[in-house]
Amino acid sequence: MLSNKKKYIVNGNSGIKAQIQFADQKQEFNKRPTKIGRRSLSRSISQSSTDSYSSAASYTDSSDDETSPRDKQQKNSKGSSDFCVKNIKQAEFGRREIEIAEQEMPALMALRKRAQGEKPLAGAKIVGCTHITAQTAVLMETLGALGAQCRWAACNIYSTLNEVAAALAESGFPVFAWKGESEDDFWWCIDRCVNVEGWQPNMILDDGGDLTHWIYKKYPNMFKKIKGIVEESVTGVHRLYQLSKAGKLCVPAMNVNDSVTKQKFDNLYCCRESILDGLKRTTDMMFGGKQVVVCGYGEVGKGCCAALKAMGSIVYVTEIDPICALQACMDGFRLVKLNEVIRQVDIVITCTGNKNVVTREHLDRMKNSCIVCNMGHSNTEIDVASLRTPELTWERVRSQVDHVIWPDGKRIVLLAEGRLLNLSCSTVPTFVLSITATTQALALIELYNAPEGRYKQDVYLLPKKMDEYVASLHLPTFDAHLTELTDEQAKYLGLNKNGPFKPNYYRY
Amino acid sequence: MLSNKKKYIVNGNSGIKAQIQFADQKQEFNKRPTKIGRRSLSRSISQSSTDSYSSAASYTDSSDDETSPRDKQQKNSKGSSDFCVKNIKQAEFGRREIEIAEQEMPALMALRKRAQGEKPLAGAKIVGCTHITAQTAVLMETLGALGAQCRWAACNIYSTLNEVAAALAESGFPVFAWKGESEDDFWWCIDRCVNVEGWQPNMILDDGGDLTHWIYKKYPNMFKKIKGIVEESVTGVHRLYQLSKAGKLCVPAMNVNDSVTKQKFDNLYCCRESILDGLKRTTDMMFGGKQVVVCGYGEVGKGCCAALKAMGSIVYVTEIDPICALQACMDGFRLVKLNEVIRQVDIVITCTGNKNVVTREHLDRMKNSCIVCNMGHSNTEIDVASLRTPELTWERVRSQVDHVIWPDGKRIVLLAEGRLLNLSCSTVPTFVLSITATTQALALIELYNAPEGRYKQDVYLLPKKMDEYVASLHLPTFDAHLTELTDEQAKYLGLNKNGPFKPNYYRY
Amino acid sequence: MLSNKKKYIVNGNSGIKAQIQFADQKQEFNKRPTKIGRRSLSRSISQSSTDSYSSAASYTDSSDDETSPRDKQQKNSKGSSDFCVKNIKQAEFGRREIEIAEQEMPALMALRKRAQGEKPLAGAKIVGCTHITAQTAVLMETLGALGAQCRWAACNIYSTLNEVAAALAESGFPVFAWKGESEDDFWWCIDRCVNVEGWQPNMILDDGGDLTHWIYKKYPNMFKKIKGIVEESVTGVHRLYQLSKAGKLCVPAMNVNDSVTKQKFDNLYCCRESILDGLKRTTDMMFGGKQVVVCGYGEVGKGCCAALKAMGSIVYVTEIDPICALQACMDGFRLVKLNEVIRQVDIVITCTGNKNVVTREHLDRMKNSCIVCNMGHSNTEIDVASLRTPELTWERVRSQVDHVIWPDGKRIVLLAEGRLLNLSCSTVPTFVLSITATTQALALIELYNAPEGRYKQDVYLLPKKMDEYVASLHLPTFDAHLTELTDEQAKYLGLNKNGPFKPNYYRY
Amino acid sequence: MLSNKKKYIVNGNSGIKAQIQFADQKQEFNKRPTKIGRRSLSRSISQSSTDSYSSAASYTDSSDDETSPRDKQQKNSKGSSDFCVKNIKQAEFGRREIEIAEQEMPALMALRKRAQGEKPLAGAKIVGCTHITAQTAVLMETLGALGAQCRWAACNIYSTLNEVAAALAESGFPVFAWKGESEDDFWWCIDRCVNVEGWQPNMILDDGGDLTHWIYKKYPNMFKKIKGIVEESVTGVHRLYQLSKAGKLCVPAMNVNDSVTKQKFDNLYCCRESILDGLKRTTDMMFGGKQVVVCGYGEVGKGCCAALKAMGSIVYVTEIDPICALQACMDGFRLVKLNEVIRQVDIVITCTGNKNVVTREHLDRMKNSCIVCNMGHSNTEIDVASLRTPELTWERVRSQVDHVIWPDGKRIVLLAEGRLLNLSCSTVPTFVLSITATTQALALIELYNAPEGRYKQDVYLLPKKMDEYVASLHLPTFDAHLTELTDEQAKYLGLNKNGPFKPNYYRY
């Protein structure tokens, strides 16, 4: 069952998907999934941290309202009560947030416009389970504009923006989500999306696999009408591959996690910026002249290294994969074992997808004031547990910043308790979310409109042409002008003028 | 027939291999292949230009000797005359060159050492057809050290270093090659390698496909004993895929052109350096502040852009592929159509693999002193032919540098007549050649030792594990220290501790 | 009168000090200085913004206490009441902050250690007026350790950290300062430092010139015993040069604002980091692919440009000085007039020290969502006043972030209302403050110990050897190892082995 | 005596001018100066190396003509024989070279145009002694166009381009210079410039001080009519300062060596490119991943470090000056002592202006194949002499490349025998020469037109406004558009709208 919430992103030393054997998977098998903090592992869905939310200073404070939304009677202005949100009255504020997000998601807006005539999702009944933020709202309303009916729940008990949920409910979307759901609330909300008189979903948009899991478990017959699943997260995709392998996947599924645009943008380009942002917001440190070791030279590590080198840090890299290692060399980084530099570095950053990359022994040898953080995985990369021993003192000096103090007075600065720095301590630019949301929308359109037989009961990557289309929708943001092949050139290259332009194995 | 010598490298706007339809292929079908200049298209094998050879100042001059090697009677010091080189007496000088190359090819030397005991190529009879340079000599002698018998011809009528050929002949290798072969000499040399009493090859190492072609045509029965072909060039690989598609490939073949290490190193890292080198050696220009447009943002384009940006140039990019285009944007380059900037740029560089990217119309609009060159393809990228019209004056101002002068006095600076700048006007570092040669050696070992049935009559990529091994053999050059997975970590990731570490589709 | 609070830092288009004629100076002459916000103009003294202070999350909240400190009776644990702070009970928390700062100010700590024996400030009676932060506290306690007696007031009515002031008072420093002083409080505090029975200062450490002004005005006779003034701010230094010019400067003064280390670090290196930090914290924008125009290519502009280019932005520069303009060209930036790019850029950053660099006309032509901010000067660089017209709507979307909305819906994003972005919206690394504080300490030592006649009644720059000493004290932070000249080399170069190593006009 | 030809450029660890005491100066006092190779030390004047000249492949070969020019009877087409060059018939080829250079020296061409009316040098009689290259010819003809009469000799016995000299002679310039002069020829040529019936110079343009020296020695009375000296080289400037100090300078002199544009361009920007060029042309090495130590972090070192870092090298820096050292740290370089890294680095580059920075002991400890070269000084920086011992074998492998081989087989690769790499092994872009030549022209104009009394018998720097003017003349090359101050802004800043824009001590 879906109790395994491990993230195994493709970067750094790891990057192994299908063949991963989760050692600790079985023992967790029958445990109830814990919603708390769990989703924060998934970079893709970008749970913005508390910090980042709170930075939107004028957000209305609803903390005074203690009644559970499930116990409230609320109606939107059109009289509908087919939703469950914290407070429908916050709709106006949420609407403004959505409007601001729309300005930064031109690709989805373009999609709305282009599809004004034909409605490629006419007849689609989409049940969704994602973070509920202004950006998701733009996606949801785009799906609506393309002809779909949607019902929506949150994939994380903490990440819902109540005002946005209210705005969606006000404009007629059956949304069941609020910030601070209980475990029970979580599943109740999902159930309310699915289990409804006279309406049955024919498409699933999932982020983490919980919605898919619920339907498998409670309403397996629903799959007869379902045309496909679009899954966003590494966790959910992994689960789908397992189902497929076991012959239990009963509809086509689209893995949008591994599309080029998503991988390169979420990992390389986004981390290039968020490593700086995360370190600055938590420590106010100066990068110039600092010695840094980055563990793992996958896309995430490459982004971190490039940014820190550009800011004047001296960067060392550790790797297990000789090819990535050789890239690090050619890019100008000393390739070392962690032990060789652990005494001298000012910052340790993990980006491996592995576990126990930074051990207690390493931590013991770090110099005073060394900063330790993780960009790659859940809190397994740094053996944080090993620091919870009586001889060490923990001092919380800021939100997300702990000083762990050794008996001799040495202190290391641990960020976000070893969880993902960029999700905990920085924000994710709307532009990156836009790429993901556009990919999701296109995957839904593709699956929904695919002729019988194009997709079997298996997990698919988005066709390259769609990847290219997502990219092309984002070019106007940069006032970027694409060159078109002439007929003669297309013939010479043996290409269709509209793409796809590269073979599947092209590495970019 | 192998008369199609087009290069269709994977970079820039192109990168399409299997599906390429060569429009002009058929008409050339029955033409005799022209050796001259042809191979200079192949980046991979790095035909060093005349310039670069001549930079090795102390090379002995053998121009005075007009006798054809085919008419000479020569013996090496052991009395053997099973070779045909320009002048066996140049052996000593060639030996020194080989020794210098050995110092920069530690991976092959390591291979020799590791295989001292077992001789993985014992019994192998390799016939080879490659450029004959000091670096190839190190490869050849490594194959010998691993147990193989070798016979060798040149794949290009111009690229043979006579001294190196002499040194190989002196140490007992049957080498048939000299600089300045005629077309007839070329095939005669190949034939002398293959058509020999009492010796029949069981492995082929080819670079361009001519040797393979010759055996197909003249000695098809030889394939019964041949265990496999290792092909290095894009041209040759393309031909093998065609044979395979047509069901005519009768032995397994290994495509070493598309290995990661080769692609990233030959294209990205090598071009990052050679664009600067090529421009400096030909024009002595200053890069700072210059406006440059780079056509194509594949690996080659990425390398060129990175280098020029780092040197203070202002770089514009053109692309047809929206994904590469978006990468260009994120990397900080304005994405434009060539027309938008053609009047203002100081340098135009093509890296597309396409044809007529720079047209006469573009050339007409360039400003005075604009430099035009090609990093990506044969001279089709720039429409050089369109410049050979009566109203334009050509002035050769230096080797590889032409001023083309318009009636109004405007002159553009055309480098290498639109042929590959980095091959014509810069040199290829031994380190890059080392990666290629090591990959070739490993491919030979793999094919030769593979258990029956592992490889069918098809074209294969080198197993990822071998790619990783090639990379690992080059790490000591950088004093780079790889981290090893612990048992626990390997289990956690579901990986073998010795690799492979990434799925096949990993993009690096 | 010191009513002129204009900042005229040396960077960007400006950089003119002595010869500046303040057009609007006279009319302000008799106005009372307004303390509010005023000091935030001074980069050098690094008034951390409200944001950054609040980021130290656990700071005790004293907002409930409404009594004026002037009306309170407080004693420290030793029974002294010669101080006036918000709440002496906050001392412990403040002490921890000081201790943390000590870890990042190794140069001052080294100074303490080196001077343990001799006490170079023995007998010094220093009256100081600076921001009161943990870093200043480390300076103050260092002065104490070197033998000095100190009395201290705040140079800004908002910037005092009450807990730090309490800690200083508790450890015996007569400190008169709290956060949120009134104008009257401000001068009262300064007076309490100076006007004290049985103690008369012989050194002044000033930041802004208010303390100096007060003594000039109220206690001119005090100057008879005063050995010198050390002034930190541009404003104060300007005032001193005016006094000197007018023949009214009656003691030597040291201008620490223009030392190399301070200029290059505060401006170039610090801004390289803070431009990114300030933009991220306020807007969460992605830098990659954004078009930015930076007005002014002085040290500040150079830092901003380097950082944004490294993050993948496309950067344009405007300049008035042809030399700086040529540098921008060679560094790879298109040099334009603002008008040429104003319609297309995503971000406008001013770093000129000039006024009305961005006019209403420019603002009218910017595209929707353009971000406008200032790194160089008070809010005169951007003509913010011109935006306060009825047809434009201002929307405060976050702290320090306003959307200014045109009638047609276009909105521009104005940061910090045009005040200094890096002071308002990012933090200043302790390392930079350490350089400044160390320079101040050395200037005090130099003036205090200088033999009679070395310094006249004039304004001096710190001797180059002291600049070099400040730098050398900060090298251990980077584990940096300086090379020493051999005797032979020193002789060859005609240098003293201990420096100074460069002529005064050396540009670094 | 001017026998001291040491160069003591302002960069790296050195940069000390006025106060330099040359230990070995006195002993050389009475030696005859040796012309050979000597000037190659002067970066400023950019003696292009043999390599670079020969790269202009079509240069006519005059080596067959053994007659000394002094013994030839030559006339130009107008019948004049007031010149002495190798072969007047080469004029046409030289003219083409000059025309090409004109295209890249737009500043001088602009100067010609602007001064078409007024002739600011009308009446000037300039005697010059510089390298005679196409670029100098453009300068000379510009001086002519501005109204001056010129007579010219070469400042180096090897650097004259015979064809250019012929072209100048043909167009009426009395030029006395050829490639391969003897020592005696050298002084004879200078004398022929000065010692002429009915013509007496009133301005001197010197590069190295030999011309000035000759007049001092032979024709001291000439100084009565001379309005000033413009000196280009470090050597010559040093000599002038010495004369001034000794009270023996009898006319004003202009030091054009230390102007900002020249310093920053010649050193920082030019070396950023030439270090790569010099290394590539000599060794064909790959920069990526190489470990490099750069000795000295002045402008030259900064340029080298920036370039190599950008190409993927790992760079270490050594410094003696703590301020430059701190800059290296902030720019992301490990600051080390040479001993710490000497065993591990692949390349050692000296840029100090010091002597014996790399000692025999260092050379003994370098690893096999380490490359050693000098960017900063004459061959004193590397103790090359210490390598000329019997146990070491020298092998010349290419022009400018020696392998020095230790008894155990270790070889180090010594470039240009320790002389300046960028002059010996790369070329100097015309753009840089253009800046220098323009500065020289403006200095001549300034001195010639200065009102009585503005300049005394002392050495002056070019007024900042002229520096700014030189820069502004080069901006059109980059299509760069300068912003102009409004009246209001100029008033606010207290600046003249036309500059100068910065105080003299501004560091850029």
The string of pLDDT tens digits covering residues D127-170 is 999 999 999 999 999 999 999 999 999 999 988 999 999 999 99
Quick one: pLDDT at residue C117? 82
Q: In this complex, do D103 and B369 lie within 8 Å of one another by their Cβ atoms?
A: yes
Q: Inspect the interface and report whether the beta carbons of C330 and B312 lie closer than 8 Å.
A: yes
Angle, vertex CA B294, rays to CA B290 and CA B299, nearest 5: 125
Global pTM reads 0.88
pLDDT tens-place string over residues B35-53: 333 222 222 223 322 223 3
Best D483, D487, D498, D505 member to test C by mutation, with max C CBs in 10 Å, is D483
In D, what residues contact B, Cβ < 8 A? 52, 55-58, 100, 103-104, 269-270, 272-273, 276-277, 280-281, 284-289, 291, 307, 310-312, 344, 368-369, 396-399, 426-432, 477-480
Question: What's the full length of chain C, in residues?
Answer: 508
Same domain for A326 and A381, yes or no, is yes
Annotated binding site of A: 133, 207, 232, 262, 266, 298-303, 319, 422
- Non-local (6+) Cβ contacts of A435 within 8 A are A107, A261, A262, A265, A266, A470, A474
Q: Residue D505: inside a domain, yes or no?
A: no
The average confidence (pLDDT) of chain B is 86
Whole-angstrom CA distances from A328 to B331, B478, D313 are: 18, 10, 11
- The phi, psi pair for D327, rounded to 5°, reads -60, -45
Helix (H, G, I), strand (E, B) or coil at A434: helix
CA-based torsion, B440, B443, B447, B453: positive or negative: negative
Structural domains of chain B, count: 2
Residue numbering of the annotated binding site of C for substrate: 133, 207, 232, 262, 266
Q: Residue C345 domain-assigned?
A: yes
**The pLDDT of residue C110:** 94
CATH number at residue C370: 3.40.50.720
C193-234 pLDDT, tens digit per residue, is: 999 999 999 999 999 999 999 999 999 999 999 999 999 988
Specify whether D412 is located in the same domain as D437. no
Task: Mutation target for D interface from B55, B102, B309: give the one with most D CBs within 10 A.
Answer: B55
Contact B351, B300 (CB under 8 A): yes
Residue A32 lies inside a defined structural domain of this protein: no
**With bands split at pLDDT 50, 70 and 90, how would you rate the model's confidence at A327?**
very high
Report whether D481 contacts D450 (CB < 8 A). no
Regarding whether B270 and B222 lie in a shared domain, the answer is no
d(CA A119, CA C270): 52
Condensed to tens digits (0 to 9), the pLDDT of residues B456-507 reads: 999 999 999 999 999 999 999 999 999 999 999 999 998 999 999 998 878 8
Shortest CA gap B91–chain C (Å): 48
Please report where in the chains the tokens 């590494």 appear, as a residue.
A234
Percent of chain D at pLDDT exceeding 90: 75
Alpha helices in D284-374 (DSSP H): 299-310, 322-330, 338-341, 360-365
Buried b (16+ CB within 10 A) or exposed e, D126-138: bbbbbbbbbbbbb
Find chain B residues with C-beta within 8 A of C329's C-beta: 288-289
Q: Which residues contact D369 (CB under 8 A, 6 or more apart)?
A: B103, B104, D346, D411, D412, D413
d(CA D286, CA B105): 13
D231 annotated as a binding-site residue: no
Of B84, B137, B54, B428, give the one whose Cα is nearest residue B270.
Answer: B428
- Residues of chain B contacting C313 with CB distance shorter than 8 Å: 332
Neighbours of chain A (3+ CB pairs under 8 A): B, C, D
Say how far apart CA D77 and CA C360 lie, in whole Å: 65
**Residue partners of C134: CB distance under 8 A and separation at least 6:** C94, C97, C98, C100, C101, C161, C164
Closest Cβ–Cβ partner in D55, D399, D427 for B57: D399
Q: Residue D416: its chain B contacts at CB < 8 A?
A: none
DSSP letter string over D53-91?
HHHSTTPPP-TT--S-GGG-----TTS----B-S-GGGH
D262 annotated among ligand-binding-site residues: yes
User: Percent of chain C, pLDDT > 70?
Assistant: 87
Q: Are the C-beta atoms of residues B293 and B336 closer than 8 Å to each other? A: yes
pLDDT at C114 over 90: no
Cβ-defined contact of C338 to D483 (cutoff 8 Å): yes
Closest CA to A162 of A195, A129, A137: A137
Provide the token pair at C57. 């999350």
Which of A431, A493, A502 to mutate to probe the B interface, most B CBs <10 Å?
Answer: A493
Range of the domain at B275: 266-417
- Residue at C144 is within a domain: yes
Q: What is the rounded CA–CA span in Å between residue C342 and residue C370?
A: 10
Q: Which member of A289, A314, A330 has the closest CB to residue D312?
A: A330
Residues of C in contact with D328 (CB under 8 A): 480
Q: How confident is the model at residue C382 (pLDDT cuts 50, 70, 90)?
A: very high
With bands split at pLDDT 50, 70 and 90, how would you rate the model's confidence at C21? Answer: very low
Kindly determine whether residue A321 and residue B485, on different chains, have CB atoms separated by under 8 Å: no
Give residue-wise pLDDT tens across range B399-426. 899 999 999 999 999 999 999 998 788 8
Q: What number of C-beta contacts closer than 8 Å exist between C and D?
A: 220
Cβ within 8 Å, pair C269-A312: yes
Q: Rounded distance, CA D420 to CA D282, Å?
A: 13
B206 vs C68: CA distance, rounded Å? 90
Which residues fall within 8 angstroms of residue C1, CB to CB, at 6 or more apart? C29, C30, C213
Mean pLDDT of all residues belonging to chain C = 87
D373, part of any domain: yes
Looking at the structure, tell me whether residues C354 and C409 fall in a common domain.
yes
Q: Where does residue B181 rank: exposed (0-12), middle (13-18), buried (19+ CB within 10 A)?
A: buried
B313–C333 CB contact, under 8 Å: no
Nearest CB among D52, D273, D397 relative to B286 is that of: D273
In one-letter notation, the amino acid at residue A492 is Y
H/E stretch holding B468 reads helix B464-474
Question: One-letter amino acid identity for B27?
Answer: Q
Residues of B in contact with A491 (CB under 8 A): 21, 23
User: Is C155 found in the same domain as C272?
Assistant: no
Q: Is D430 marked within a binding site?
A: no
Same structural domain, D98 and D190 = yes
% of chain C exceeding 90 in pLDDT = 75
Chains with 3 or more CB pairs closer than 8 angstroms to B? A, C, D
Instruction: Say whether both A455 and A406 belong to one domain.
Output: no
Whether residue A238 is predicted with pLDDT greater than 50 in this model: the reply is yes
Does C492 contact D355 at a Cβ distance shorter than 8 Å? yes
Chain C CB contacts of B309 under 8 Å are: 309, 332
- Are residues C179 and C220 located together in one domain of the fold? yes
- C42 assigned to some structural domain: no
Can you read off the two tokens belonging to residue B91?
């052996």
Strand-pair partners of C206: C129, C231
d(CA D202, CA D225): 5
Nearest by CB to residue B57, choosing from D55, D58, D398, is D398
Q: Which burial class, exposed, middle or buried, applies to A193 when counting CB atoms under 10 A from its CB (0-12, 13-18, 19+)?
A: buried
B272 in the same domain as B370:
yes
Q: How many CB atoms lie within 10 A of CB B223?
A: 18
In a shared domain, residues D208 and D86: yes
Instruction: State phi, psi for D244 to the nearest 5 degrees.
Output: -60, -45
pLDDT in tens, A344-393: 999 999 999 899 999 999 999 999 999 999 998 677 999 999 999 999 99
With a cut of 70, say whether residue A100 has pLDDT above it: yes
CA distance C432 to chain B (A): 28
The side-by-side arrangement of strands in the sheet containing A347-350 is A334-335, A314-318, A291-295, A347-350, A371-374, A411-415, A401-405, A393-398
Most A-contacting residue of D286, D290, D326, D330 (CB-CB within 10 A), to test interface: D330
Indicate if the pLDDT at residue D243 is higher than 80. yes
Residues of C in contact with D439 (CB under 8 A): none
3-state secondary structure of A81: coil
| Closest-CA distance of chain A to residue D304, Å | 15
pLDDT grade, residue D428 (50/70/90)? confident
Does residue D194 sit within a domain? yes
User: Looking at this predicted complex, what is its ipTM?
Assistant: 0.86
Distance CA D63, CA D178 (A): 12
C332's tokens? 């790879």
SS3 assignment, position B100: helix
Closest CA to D87 of D63, D64, D69, D111: D69
What mean pLDDT is predicted for residues C164-184?
97
The sign of the CA dihedral C414, C417, C422, C424 is negative
A148 and A239 in a common domain: yes
Q: Give A166-176 pLDDT, tens digit per residue.
A: 999 999 999 99
Query: Which run of H or E residues covers position D43?
Result: none
Whether residue D78 is found in the same domain as residue D182: yes
Q: Is residue B114 part of a domain?
A: yes
- C-alpha A159/C-alpha A233 separation (Å) is 15
Under 8 Å between Cβ of C386 and C363: yes
* Cβ pairs bridging B and C (under 8 Å): 33
Q: Tell me how far apart the alpha carbons of residues B218 and B446 are, in angstroms, rounded to a whole number.
A: 27
Cα D487 to Cα A427: distance, rounded to the nearest angstrom: 44
* CA-based nearest residue in chain A for residue C431: A286
Q: Indicate which CATH number applies to the domain containing B182.
A: 3.40.50.1480
CA C312 – CA C308 distance, rounded (Å) = 6
